[in-house]
Amino acid sequence: MNTRTLTIVLACIATAALVGCDPADTEPTPDAPAATRPTTEAPAATPTKATEEPVETKAVPKFVGMGLQSAQDTAQKEGFSALTSHDSAGRGRAQAFDRNWKVCSQNVAAGKSVPTDTTLDFGAVKLEEDCPADDAEAPETADGKMPSLVGKSVKVARKALDSSTSITVTDAAQDRMVLMESNWRVCTQSPSPGVALNGQPVEFTAVKFEEDCP
């Protein structure tokens, strides 16, 4: 205890009856620590959006002459995943079993370099069939008039008309039911090509593709 503190204590004892004094109050207090100021944290860095990788460009292989399944497998190995196919004969058949079809045409020429997200379209026919010189084009209805549908498959002929059209199909050779319309070929049609279509019914006669119209 230093001299200053001793003097104050003695003074407190002498005047205890008159003044309340606590020697502890006489101890010098250390300086209070400085108030802690709240720190402002730096904002988290905003993650940058990942840059999309550019689409790879590759040369398209030659698919003509390959089986449809093999052509599709080859295209996928080369990175082309957008694949489709159609009936080169123009009969509107679906390629349900790819191994039963062969490629006659391709929409992107062999050797041409294109992005790998390009859609590749294969024209195909059944294995036992000959490829046509050119893919058959779908008939078009011009200005609401009856198109020429003789020689087309019944399925394609039906698709060329408005979905509300009433259509009757009869066997031109025998009294058979026309069930698988992609296997039947139109022999006659009514109305005739060029007649205005105003909602009137349409009639076809047909035979199977391997048969001759009577």
Are the C-beta atoms of 68 and 98 separated by less than 8 Å? yes
pLDDT at 138: 81
pTM attached to this predicted model = 0.70
The last residue of a domain, from among 85, 106, 126: 126
Q: Where are the alpha helices (DSSP H) in 21-137?
A: 68-77
Cα separation, 209 vs 193, in Å, equals 21
Strand order in the sheet with 202-208: 167-171, 202-208, 184-190
Query: How far, CA to CA in Å, does 67 sit from each of 58, 59, 85, 131, 163?
Result: 22, 20, 12, 12, 34
Higher local confidence (pLDDT), 210 or 20: 210
Choice among 27-36, 81-90, 125-134, 136-145 with the minimum mean pLDDT: 27-36
Does 147 have pLDDT greater than 50? yes
Give the domain range for residue 113: 57-126
pLDDT at 46: 59
Cα dihedral angle (200, 89, 124, 179), rounded to 10 degrees?
A: 50
Same domain, 122 and 159: no
Split into its structural domains, the chain has a count of: 2
Choice among 44-48, 102-106, 110-114 with the minimum mean pLDDT: 44-48
Residue 83, SS3 per DSSP: strand
Does 32 have pLDDT greater than 80? no
Same domain, 119 and 167: no
Residue from 199, 200, 195, 160 nearest 181 by CA = 160
Cα dihedral angle (98, 102, 105, 106), rounded to 10 degrees?
A: 40
Q: Would residue 143 count as lying in a domain?
A: no
Same domain, 61 and 116: yes
pLDDT at 187: 98
Same domain, 115 and 62: yes
Where is mean pLDDT largest: 34-38, 138-142, 154-158? 154-158
Q: Would residue 7 count as lying in a domain?
A: no
Cα separation, 190 vs 37, in Å, equals 94
Q: Would residue 201 count as lying in a domain?
A: yes
pLDDT at 40: 54
pLDDT at 34: 47
Cα separation, 214 vs 212, in Å, equals 6
Q: Would residue 100 count as lying in a domain?
A: yes
End-to-end Cα separation, the chain, in angstroms:
136
> Would you place residue 9 in the very low, low, confident or very high pLDDT band (cuts 50, 70, 90)?
very low
pLDDT at 191: 97
Structure tokens at 26: 């006489």
What average pLDDT is seen over the chain? 85
Q: Would residue 91 count as lying in a domain?
A: yes
Which CATH number covers residue 69? 3.30.10.20
Residue from 95, 70, 97 nearest 85 by CA = 95
The last residue of a domain, from among 79, 108, 126: 126
Q: Would residue 110 count as lying in a domain?
A: yes
Higher local confidence (pLDDT), 81 or 47: 81
Cα separation, 66 vs 59, in Å, equals 17
Q: Would residue 20 count as lying in a domain?
A: no
pLDDT digits (tens, 9 = 90+) for 90-102: 999 999 999 999 9
Q: Would residue 37 count as lying in a domain?
A: no
